[in-house]
A and B are shown apart, each in its own frame.
Chain A
Amino acid sequence: MNAATPLNLAPLLDVQGVNKSFRKPDGDELVVLENVNLTLRPGEIVGLLGRSGSGKSTLLRSIAGLDPPTGGVVSYLGHPVLAPAAGIAMVFQSFALFPWLTVLENVQVGLEALGTPEAEMRARAIKAIDLIGLDGFESAYPRELSGGMRQRVGFARALVVHPNILLMDEPFSALDILTAETLRTDFLELWGEGQLPIKAVLLVTHNIEEAVQMCDRLLIFSTHPGRVVSEIPIDLPHPRHTQDPRFRALIDRVYVEMTARPRGEARPGVKGERFPGTGIGTVLNHVSSTILTGLIETVNEPPYLGKADLPAIAEEQHLEVDDLFPAAEALQLLRFAEVEGGDMRLTEAGSQFARGDIDERKKLFARHLITYVPLAAHIRRVLDERASHTAPKSRFFDELEDYMAEDAAEQTLRTIISWGRYAEVFAYDDNRQAFSLENPV
């Protein structure tokens, strides 16, 4: 329907220069969103696509008035949004239904808050329930419903207040593939027929296929800090078929954009985080050694034979962006693979790893871990130097906190512990919260 939308309509939503940062305990600022601009016009579905940590959910919450930005302006119909606004409704990833209310009561709840008269409330709620296909489930409680039906309640609850803007925070990611597909198609059908009492949709997702299937425009976010790195218009007519070559081409394009090396220089004040692998301040996404091993093996085998298209692997292995990208990045960091332009190519070490038996693999992994991951080398060095050959986790945690937020530091340590254990470079005792060199006998 975007084809029929005149672009000169006044925007419903205007996001100008939005920043969001948190103050860390040591006084430094941690930037989550940096200079984000975005407009949403009537008739559009706009997708925010990025990996976890790109701040896209934070942006959605700023727009919803739940968590105001630290800089810049979010304006809705020309008014700045500082608190939840009546015309902006949200659909949540975990559905966020009230388990003690029936389907009907859950749908009515937003109208109740607005003080709608009872008769009108009931009529509107039943209409919304009807529209979204929950007919007959009015008196059921959420726990009696399947995940897909629960999210339908989530949609009905948001639609019943007739919002101008519908915000969706990964609404399909908690559902199985088939259910998600059905719900998406149903939604698009209603949207296409103009049956939904909404004017525009803002969708947060990390599923590339979903984004290309649903949106008229995609904004791609970078991580640490979250910025809009590119905008991709999608003008395929609905219904869109995933096997359509134009659809595949768009997916490839999104992958290329998402694997592009970050542009621009590191700004002063933000230490080390920008360039992967340049210091101990690199945030490591948690990827288990099993996934790394599996990915190397897959790429090494036919039909890929050392070089693979990322979308193809994602589809074959049913890996979502949040699984695939961190894994690919980890292999790149360990110099087992190179990722560029939506492709992944194994290095010489990578193929050697794929051919090796478990002992050879571990030795190779250990060598690369120490050589290319400064944090691993650092931990090993500290353990070697100490007479006791042990060091508390908190020692490294404090160091990492100079460079990153608390949860990122926690995750980075979790990752290095898992890799270190696999490579048998050091041991870790969770009860004592300490690293050591002694391997349990």
Chain B
Amino acid sequence: MRVDRLPIAVLRERYVPGRWDVLAFILVVAFFIYCAEAARGLTGSLEHLEATPISLSPWALIGYAARTGLRMLIALGFSLLFTFTYATLAAKSRRAEVLLVPLLDFLQSVPILSFSIVTLFFLQLTPGRVAGAEMAAIFLIFTSQAWNMAFSFYHSLRSIPDEMSEAARNFQFSPWMRFWRLEVPFAMPPLIWNMMMSMSGGWFFVVASEAMSIGNTTLTLPGVGSYIALANDQRNYGAIGWAVVAMFVVILIFDQLLFRPLIASADWFRLEQEAGQTADQSWALTMMRRSRLIGLIGRAFAKMLRAGMKPAGASGPVAAARLPSRWDGPLGDYAWYGALLLIGLLALWRTATFVHGDVPVGEIGRVVLLGFITLVRVAVLIALASLIWVPIGVWVGTRPRVASIVQPVAQFLAAFPTNLFFGFVVSAVVLFHLTPDIWLSPLMILGTQWYILFNVIVGASAISPDLRNAGKNLGLRGWLWWKRLALPAIFPFYVTGAITAAGGSWNASVAAEVVSWGRETVTAHGLGAYIHAATDAADFQRIVLGTVVLSVFVVTVNRIFWRPLYARAERKYRMS
């Protein structure tokens, strides 16, 4: 074959700007200006920040939204970095795995407010500067994004098909090449999905991360979160409305410019495409593919990566195997597990003395009791949400056109911070003399119920046409249709959604059990309220105690309830 017959895509072309280039150019320049604008505030001093209060003007919101968006983007970048390192280490090293995976399980259950202990550290790093506060805010957003991404990547690395991994070894990939050529592309589709969920998670806690209050120290960084916090303080419904609009726009921009292109390109990463499924479309991806400018940048980046893929050294006909060292055997294992045990005991002792210094033993019992109250709340809410969303999800899922409309809407709703609803809830509770213990509860599931809906929709749309036709053919109708066909078919998907929703609800309890609107504060009994109060008082001992109890609850419920249920769903209700 002569070179001139090659398809365009593999030819080295000269740079000639085209139609798509103009659009790409404008967007790239706009992005740089946006970063520069948003970063300008970074170098200022904290006093200056305190001297310029948040404004509730809708116009100020444009700048706030830009800054919040950039913070989330940076946090997402760090989450990705964390994912690539932490999860890779956990998947590759048997010894690291025993520590890192349970640790991730634990971190996932720690509510965002508990991480506020760490914010002081960032403030100390750059005394009197905004940069420290910004780092703290980004760190808090990071804690609401990173864990599920790392889990997803870890699971992908563990499930790479044997033959594909053998092919990589047979062709002598270096570890660097293996990572970029095999592992990252393979893990991409679920990772993108988790990045989207993480973005929603970041929005949900946007108020907590921007309006940080630790004891007497209150830090409000300009952003959508502090705007919402101020609107709540001033009981300004109009401002709340504007905040919703701003969020909607930022989420839409992220969706169009970041996630759509990622999903559309990840489609090419899939092993097989199911019949009848159309590839996702994205104008932004089309732009990137068509624009030669972006093409050139992309190739330069690819070249850089490839430079790292060069083999370590010239190898003879037969590469030498790495000789096992004496630490590879049981001797190394004993040393490693021994060290872990020692460090674990030390940490336990330190934590116990730290908490015990200030907290009477009887309080631990009380905290556990509060945990049970929150547990009941979560259980009831999940049950209620299931009753509502499972039928709706099945109805939507069996109608592809409805599903394509409902899914993005639900995704948007999942990002809604609870704080936006504080006004309505507090007003209602005060006006009708309602019991906070019951009527604050719906706030906990506000953001997380959508995961049940998402998954049920996915499950329902995965019911094969043959199975549905068989149902029709056999005359399954009414309850019988639900019992014999729909519910069993969606069950594994439902369980996945319910696990996510339940875990999220525990986290949301810190933001939903104590609710303020102006000077009015309504409090429910529960572990979330306990942690919230401890954070307000900067009572570190009680933050630690509350967090540990909450984590123990979450992890225990997962182990004894959700995991067996999931295993059963996997075994009984999957075909193959």
Contact = CB atoms under 8 A, between A and B. Distances in A.
Interface of A: 61, 64-66, 68, 76-77, 79-90, 92-96, 98-102, 104, 109-110, 112-115, 122, 126, 129-130, 135, 138-139, 141, 143, 157, 161, 430-431
Nearest to B174: A113
A83 B166 contact: no
B171 A96 contact: no
Q: Taking chain A's interface residues, is the majority helix, strand, or loop, or is none over half, making it mixed?
A: loop
Which 9 residue pairs are nearest across A and B when measured between Cβ atoms? A82-B321, A100-B185, A110-B171, A96-B163, A79-B318, A96-B167, A83-B321, A100-B269, A85-B318
B150 to A, nearest CB: 21
Interface core residue of B172, B269, B270 (most chain A CB under 10 Å): B172
Contacts of B182: 98
Interface of B: 1, 6-7, 9-10, 161, 163-164, 166-167, 169-174, 177, 181-182, 185-186, 188, 268-273, 306, 309-311, 315-322, 571-572
Given A61-B166, A81-B318, A82-B321, A113 B6 contact: no
A66 B166 contact: yes
B311 A98 contact: no
B309 A89 contact: no
Given A79-B318, A82-B320, A104 B10 contact: yes
Given A86-B319, A109-B181, A114-B311, A135 B170 contact: no
B7 A143 contact: no
Contacts of B310: 115
A113 B173 contact: yes
A143 B275 CA distance: 12
A198 B10 CA distance: 27
Contacts of A122: 10
Given A66-B169, A90-B170, A115-B311, A99 B319 contact: no
B1 A130 contact: yes
B417 to A, nearest CB: 36
Contacts of B273: 143
B568 to A, nearest CB: 8
Contact of B306 (A89, A98, A99, A112): A112
Contacts of A68: 321
Interface core residue of B171, B173, B322 (most chain A CB under 10 Å): B171
Contact of B172 (A114, A135, A141): A114
Contacts of B170: 64, 66, 84, 88-90
Given A98-B181, A99-B268, A99-B269, 12 more contacts: A65-B319, A68-B321, A81-B318, A83-B321, A84-B171, A93-B163, A98-B182, A99-B185, A113-B311, A114-B172, A135-B1, A430-B572
A157 to B, nearest CB: 8
A16 to B, nearest CB: 16
B164 A98 contact: yes
B317 to A, nearest CB: 5
B277 to A, nearest CB: 12
Given A94-B161, A113-B311, A138-B6, A143 B271 contact: yes
Contacts of B7: 138-139
A93 B166 CA distance: 12
Nearest to B315: A86
A253 B317 CA distance: 38
B172 to A, nearest CB: 5
A126 B319 contact: no
A259 B299 CA distance: 58
B315 A90 contact: no
Contacts of B320: 82-83
A222 B300 CA distance: 54
6 contacts: A77-B317, A82-B318, A88-B170, A112-B177, A113-B172, A431-B572
A89 B171 contact: yes
Given A96-B164, A96-B167, A100-B185, A76 B317 contact: yes
Contacts of A95: 163
A401 to B, nearest CB: 21
A120 to B, nearest CB: 14
A76 B318 contact: yes
A75 to B, nearest CB: 9
Contacts of B316: 79, 86
Contacts of B161: 94, 96
A128 to B, nearest CB: 11
Contacts of A65: 318-319, 321
Contacts of A112: 177, 181, 306, 309
Given A100-B268, A113-B177, A77 B9 contact: no
B271 A99 contact: yes
B273 to A, nearest CB: 6
Contacts of B163: 92-96
A270 to B, nearest CB: 27
A129 B273 CA distance: 24
Contacts of A76: 317-318
Contacts of B309: 112-113, 115
